[in-house]
Structure 1
Amino acid sequence: MNLLEARAERIPTTIYPDSEQASVAVAREVARLIRERAAQGRPAVLGLATGSTPTRLYEELVRLHREEGLSFANVISFNLDEYYPMTPSSLQSYVRFMHEYLFDHIDIRPENVHIPDGTVPPEQVAEFCRRYEEQIREAGGIDLQLLGIGRTGHIGFNEPGSGPASRTRLITLDHITRTDAASDFYGEEHVPRRALTMGVGTILEAHEIVLLAWGEGKAAVVKRMTEGEPTDSVPATYLQRHPHVRVVLDEAASAELTRVKTPWLAGIASNWQRPATVRKAVTWLAHQLAKPILKLTDEEYNEHGLSDLLAESGPAYSINIKVFNELQHTITGWPGGKPDADDTYRPERALPPHKRVLIFSPHPDDDVISMGGTLLRLVDQGHEVHVAYQTSGNIAVFDDEAIRFADFAAEYDQLFQQNDPAGEQFYHRVSDFLHTKAPGQVDSAEVQQLKGLIRRGEAKAALRYAGLDPDQRAHFQDLPFYETGRVRKKPLGEEDIQLTINLLNQIRPQQLYAAGDLSDPHGTHRVCLAAIFEAIHRLQAAGSEWLPDCWVWLYRGAWQEWDVDQIEMAVPLSPQELIRKRRAIFKHQSQKDRPLFPGADQREFWQRAEERNRTTAKLYDQLGLPEYEAIEAFVRWHF
């Protein structure tokens, strides 16, 4: 396994290619500790975290228990935190989380499980916290503490302002933390304002600490944690004071580290034979100096840590021309390839002139939000475009929107079917359920189906606007992993993969688009991409005849955009095309005005998309390339 060793960070940091490999590796470390302690006749004391980050690690521990005999009989566990107030049976309870992901599937003794109690009366909270610390000491201290990290830099629920001496206590949650948790609670207004958490000082007393972080969304705070000065404003920075701490990242979460983003500034030798490395360095220098690429000088390369590049590939003039041409060749108004044209320097092939195109959309609106302009261009240029909506997106529909459609169904029945009570009965069942629904309660099967139909109808409307017949070109997969009625989904399953394989074999695309945006806070994009990758790998292993002629392009969704140096196809949009894209997005009326799960960005999705597309165009312009209104960006996946 090719791992990058820590160099510039103040905390030893290991980068894995993806979170899957990282999770499995750390799970094996945990298993080794458990077995070592068992052989010594001692308990293994684990500090456990919750959230989406450690779930794959817990799945691997369960597999090790079931298939390799790993016993947890000698394990004592202490969880970091719990919302307050919170009953153990609540959907968002960390007690429930730990049982669903780990405790119900292993042989840990119930008396050895410790989780902060969200039901403790207020007057007993201080005593509970004191006793929690005492129980940790009585167990001999925590041998291995697993941590995640929040966007505010919190570990556990130690929000900004938490010092290195803080102990287990009741704390008020930061607004950003509550915003990030809003999807789990079906709205920020339902997120508890307080939580019980181990303190920073409590965490630092663990014998060993491993912090895990996945995805581009964590990259900025990871950089602050590992490279910044220790400060109360980013409590995770105090991990720098621990003698046995490690940070484990996937490549996406490492993106902002100095040794990854600008290794030349860290004195790390770079491989200047790789065009991607040179492109990254040159675009970085141009942005630093706010100058077009073709105006960069030898002196500026030397003064900004790029003397090795200059010595190996200079002079600056030659480097500038090379990188400028590479970026210029990414720009194309023909995303499906330009017929009867020399495609030597174009990102897509000229032949066949009219391609079968399959666009995978994780949610029913990701296609138009993320690549709506390109979709319109592909249709206008005569390609056979199909869109696969991988999930129903039903949890992202407001309850009152569902009632409005149920009301329409009842009125429709009365108007056209005369005295048929079925529609009215349906309306009353839906209405009664939603009016008595508790915050975070799972929708009934009928409500889930209704909300799914709302999203499906909007997706069809957007395709009709784009000039496609949804009855022929829309494919609603409704992948089973998503259909839980909850924000928390099931792991990717065999049925999800088979449905994807079947669709690929049905369409046999020559061009495929997929969401490569791993910053989606709900994790749906990540699972949908994994289904596509696994399906393609299996088809490849089976010797699929059509697959070698298929090129895969990755777009990014509403949460992140590709850096300019990564872009391999840039599709420029005119002002008129940007308006057409906006109108296609507007067809998704249930997501208009205020999405149910907006994430950290409170703007509407069309606003985010336009800002992102305009920013990409501006960056190209600043580098000295043609000036466009907007640009949609893609990276090719070479499977």
Structure 2
Amino acid sequence: MISNPNERISCRIYDRASDASIAAAKEIATLIRHCREQSRPCVLGLVAGSSPVSVYQELVRMHREESLSFANVFAFNLDEYYPMQPMELQSIARFMHEHLLDHVDIPSSQIHLLDGSLPRDEVAAHCHEIERAIQNLGGIDLQLLGINRAGHIGLNEPGSDRGCRTRMITLDQITRTDAASDFFGSENVPRHALTMGVGTILEAKRILLLAYGEGKAGIVKRTVEGFAGASVPSTFLQNHPAALLILDAAAASNLTRVQSPWLLGEVTWDDKTIHRAVIDLSEATGKAILKLTDADYNEQGLQDLLAAHGSAYDINLRVFRHLHSTISGWPGGKPAHAKQVGDRPGNRDDIFPKRIVLFSPHPDDDVISMGGTLIRLVDQGHEVHVAYQTSGNIAVFDEDALRYAEFVEDFCRQFGLSANGLDELAEHVDAFLRNKKAGQIDSEQVQDIKGLIRRSEAREGARCCGVADDHLHFLDLPFYQTGRVKKSPITEADLDITIDLLRKIQPHQIYAAGDLSDPHGTHRTCLSVILQSCLRCQDDPWYESTAVWFYRGAWQEWAPHQIEMAVPLSPEEVQRKRMAIFKHQSQKDRALFPGSDAREFWQRAEARNAETARRYDTLGLAEYAAIEGFVRWDGESGIEL
């Protein structure tokens, strides 16, 4: 991959986040062993968050299987919410113990965690003591960092001075919104935190910053290629002599060397690179693809493309024909009577109608992300099944659960139906929810009620799209059943449930969520379950004719250069899709986990579908009301396995 002279911090890019985490863990392990050989302490600065989890998993594995000892390690944690008791669910101290400290041989006297439970008048002295402990040990040897979309390191918010030290800070709204999924709502996120200062971090001898996923691509580009300043604290790393960003391909996708490598030097002009370059050129100039000229190519630094592949006219036509071939009003393929000369290949039109399974991570992702295509598949006569992978019960507001419980209680009394323990259940739900503390895990009974709410909404949403009730499958994958935002690892039980469904239906098409920026990672886990299950089934005779398509929409959308199947929607189909989304009343008006986008899910979906259609239109393709985009899985690349 071409290097970028504009990159002001060293970056190492890996195809998968798992590979990146293993590399980071190996560097940490090498440092620990090196320090032990020199009979000196190894001082580590540690961070919580989703990105370092797999790093800690690998370190624990190395401790158990490769005799990696932490006896010489002194650990300092980067930050902690305030106020926060050490063993509360959202405590960063608890996170560190659960993921690393309780599983290795580090002496408890060598663990230094910021204490969010102290009285306020003791916080300043505590922070000073942490600074003094670091200095007495000779400074931090290696500091591990994550990054949020505002570019803070630790919990140093934009505006933090590069010389600031460990202290209490006030969290801004972006940080509190990003943390909302851990606290079951942004209103429950503490307004303050303790954090190492930027100056403290920059004094570390070595810094590794981890960034994974498409959601980090924008801030990674600003951090690496932007100018250093307090508005983006992570840019201060540009002046550190030994800072390294460890990225997966998704997080690196906005870097110039990845996004526009032709601007930096010679590239291999394969189809993928040509398509992206020409689409970018069209959008940059505001011209339709077929109107681009040799001069446009030259002015945008694409002389090498012209030299390698001829005139603008020939290249334009090549890319235009490719984009045109992606548009299909028949996502499941055409019946014999509808086929025409020149139809796009790839959907096995020799099989019609098809058996189709749409996997929905949460009970509403099916209609939010590909509701129009779902409607089209059903209307065109295919046997469509929807498999809801999780209950989605943690995303239901307490007041909704209470309202439904009260309705059932009143209904039974109104019609003289036998309670059969209903009074006891209603009393439990009422007492539990009215006395529930912020961030507390729901009782099993409340979880069940919330799950039933989302299941009933899923049925109604699917019915709006024409899917038969007996084609709905509620899998309730075990990894999700923790009652917490933090989920269990994937197990054979998750795979067995999914494989059994696939072998029962033997689908010709599988649709799966490739939208990996949801705030608590369920989409990523659910996709991994699907792809691992597909690999287990790949030698089954039926699987030979199966295609796997990735959809997006709830959190982001595929770009035109990525789309391999673009399904256009009519205004009527857009309206039907909206009505299906509206059936998910517990997610309407205000979602419990909204992520960084304040709009309702139907608004996000419609805006993204309309924007995809607009971009196709400005590139010179036909004008549609909306387009849902899909990318086909090649059977190898994709999500972590």
Interval containing the TM-score (normalised by the shorter chain): over 0.9
Q: SS in structure 2 opposite 1:66?
A: helix
Distance 1:38 1:534 in 2: 40
Residues 1:7 and 1:508: Cα distance change in structure 2 (over 3 Å): farther
What is the CA-CA distance between 1:6 and the residue it aligns to? Answer: 6.4
Counterpart check, 1:268 vs 2:258: no
2:258, 2:346 → 1: CA distance? 26
My pick for the range that moved more, 184-193 or 362-371, is 184-193
Residue identity matched to 1:212:
L
> 1:296-319: per-residue Cα shift (whole Å, max 9, x none)?
010110110100001111200000
What's the offset of the Cα at 1:43?
1.7
> For residue 438 of structure 1, what is the aligned residue in structure 2?
437
Q: In the TM superposition, what whole-angstrom CA distance separates every residue of 1:121-141 from its partner, at most 9, and x where no partner exists?
A: 222222211111110111121
Change (3 A) 1:473 1:533: same
- Secondary structure of 1:564's match? coil
Work out whether residues 5 and 13 of structure 1, in 8 Å CA contact, stay in contact via their aligned partners in 2. no
Cα deviation code 1:80-127 (max 9, x no counterpart): 100111111211111111111111111111111111111222222222
Please list, as runs of the form range in 1=range in 2, the aligned pairs for 1:306-455 lying within 5 A after superposition. Answer: 306-340=302-336, 341=339, 342=341, 345-418=344-417, 420=419, 422-455=421-454
State the distance in 2 between where 1:24 and 1:418 align: 59
SS, match of residue 326 in structure 2: coil
**Structure 2 equivalent of residue 104 of structure 1:** 102
Q: Deviations over 1:509-548 (max 9, x none)?
A: 11000000111121000111111111122223xx221112
Q: Which residue of 2 aligns with 1:73?
A: 71
Q: Deviations over 1:38-73 (max 9, x none)?
A: 222222111101011111111111111122222111
For residue 33 of structure 2, the aligned residue among 32, 35, 55 is 35
Q: Supply the distance in 1 between the matched residues of 2:4 and 2:50 (Cα, whole angstroms).
A: 25
Structure 1: any 5+ residue segments left out of the alignment?
none
SS in 1 for 2:246: strand
Q: What residue number does 1:519 align with?
A: 517
Contact 2:519 2:593 in 1 (8 A): no
Instruction: Tell me, in whole angstroms, the C-alpha distance in 2 between the residues paired with 1:65 and 1:7.
Output: 39
Superposed, 1:157-168 pairs within 5 Å as 157-168=155-166
Secondary structure at 2:251 match in 1 = helix
Which stretch of the first structure deviates more once superposed, 623-632 or 137-146?
Answer: 137-146
The answer for the alignment partner of 2:191 in structure 1 is 193
1:222–1:596 CA distance, 2 compared to 1 (3 A) = same
Q: Is the 8 A contact 1:13 1:247 kept in 2?
A: yes
Aligned to 2:638: none
Native 8 Å contact 2:2 2:257 kept in 1 = no
* 1:46–1:423 Cα change, 3 Å: same
Which of 538, 563, 571 is the matching residue for 1:567? 563
- Contact 1:362/1:515 (<8 A) preserved: yes
Of residues 571, 596, 605, the one that matches 2:592 is: 596
Distance of 1:501 and 1:530 partners within structure 2: 13
Q: In the aligned structure 2, how far is the partner of 1:450 from the partner of 1:48?
A: 39
Q: Aligned letter for 1:103?
A: L
Task: Report the CA distance between 1:454 and its aligned residue.
Answer: 0.7
How many aligned positions are there? Answer: 632
Q: C-alpha displacement at 1:345, in angstroms?
A: 2.5
Q: Check whether the contact 1:259–1:268 (CA below 8 A) recurs between aligned residues.
A: no
| Aligned mates of 1:285, 1:99 — CA distance in 2 | 50
1-side partners of 2:64 and 2:202: how far apart? 32
1:255-294 matched pairs, under 5 angstroms: 255-265=253-263, 267-272=264-269, 274-294=270-290
Distance in 1 (CA, whole Å) between partners of 2:133 and 2:201 is 14
Q: Cα deviation per residue 1:317-353 (whole Å; 9 max; x = unaligned)?
A: 0000110010000001000011222575345231201
Counterpart pick for 2:45 among 34, 44, 47:
47
| 1:485 equivalent among 471, 483, 486 | 483
Residues 331 and 346 from structure 1, CA distance in 2 versus in 1: closer, same or farther, beyond 3 angstroms?
farther
Higher mean C-alpha displacement, 359-368 vs 337-346? 337-346
The CA distance in 1 between the partners of 2:513 and 2:540, in whole Å, is: 23
Describe the SS at the equivalent of 2:561.
helix
Counterpart residue type for residue 538 of structure 1: R
The answer on 1:56 being equivalent to 2:49 is no
> 1:629 maps to what in 2?
625
Contact 2:385 2:471 in 1 (8 A): yes
Stretches (4+) displaced over 4 A:
3-8
Q: C-alpha displacement at 1:236, in angstroms? A: 0.4
How far apart, in 2, do the equivalents of 1:636 and 1:419 lie? Answer: 52
CA RMSD between the two structures: 1.3
Match of 1:123 in 2: 121
TM-aligned CA deviation for residue 418 of structure 1: 3.7
CA contact (8 A) 1:519 1:560 kept: yes
Provide the rounded CA distance (Å) in 2 between the counterparts of 1:242 and 1:171.
Answer: 24
Compared CA separation, residues 390 and 7, structure 1 to 2 (3 A): farther
- Percent of pairs identical after alignment? 59
8 Å contact 2:348–2:545 — kept in the other structure? no
- 1:181 maps to 2:179: yes
Q: Does 1:303 align with 2:303?
A: no
Structure 1: distance between partners of 2:278 and 2:599: 33
CA change 1:183–1:210 in 2 (3 A) is: same
Gaps spanning 5+ residues in structure 2: where?
Answer: 636-641
Q: Structure 1 length normalisation: TM-score?
A: 0.97
Distance 1:620 1:486 in 2: 41
Give the structure 1 partner of residue 639 of structure 2.
none
Structure 2 counterpart SS, 1:86:
coil
Letter in structure 2 aligned against 1:336: G
Deviations 1:568-616 (A, max 9, x none): 0000001000000000111111111111111111111000000000000
